[in-house]
Amino acid sequence: MNPSNSEFIILASASPRRKEMLEQLGLAFRCITPSVSEETRPRETPKAYVRRIANDKARAVLHSLRDDPADHLIIAGDTTVTLEGAILGKPATEQDATDMLLQLSGKTHQVITGVCLLLHRNRNLEAKRLFAVSTDVIFKTLTRSEVDAYVRTGDPMDKAGAYGIQSGAAHMIREIHGSYTNVVGLPMAELLEEMQALPGCRALGIRSLPESKNPNGLPAPQRAFG
């Protein structure tokens, strides 16, 4: 199976940000949006939560393909923001978004993404990778007018923690420590390393990507499937 075939790699996500990052790598893929519950469980840690949800998303897509004889590599991710151990999900209302941003103001929080890879070949689950990546993000102290203006744009409403580092909230962030792409929604360096380590994918070949910069000015990862 040639992994450049768009039927081979499947992104289990409706996120335009994850889709854009994979497109920047030159990977051919298609998207299937899974339907899973994203409720937290009692005493569940943020890392355990995102790993579980990523696994559930990948499994849901795999189940939807149960009658498909083709081989697939399914990529699923789930990102959350955590402040002092508390998970901040997507805001349900503008007031929720305002409250979250005021909580993050002037503090360090973590953005954690869980990623699940399922390699399905010859109608069997041949390999699985499940991991989580954490990035520390430091917000400057925000004024109420800054928060209100940002919330009015609507940008926070579909994002964990009520902000997008790659969009309207960039001016709110003083520092990050760790993976930038993880904060956007998919830790690309770690993802490619795990993809390359899948035993069933080694035989499919790896090629080098041309050196370039993505729209955020970050160097593009140098290796991918091809």
The phi and psi torsions of 155 (rounded to 5 degrees) equal -60, -35
Tokens of 5: 């075939």
Helices (H) and strands (E) in the chain, counts: 7, 9
Provide the annotated active-site residues.
Answer: 78
Tell me the C-alpha distance between 19 and 199, whole Å. Answer: 25
Instruction: Tell me the β-bridge partners of 156.
Output: none
DSSP β-ladder status, 72-83 and 124-139? unpaired
Cα angle for residues 143, 113, 20 (degrees, 5° grid) = 85
State whether the Cα torsion 8-215-101-43 is positive or negative.
positive
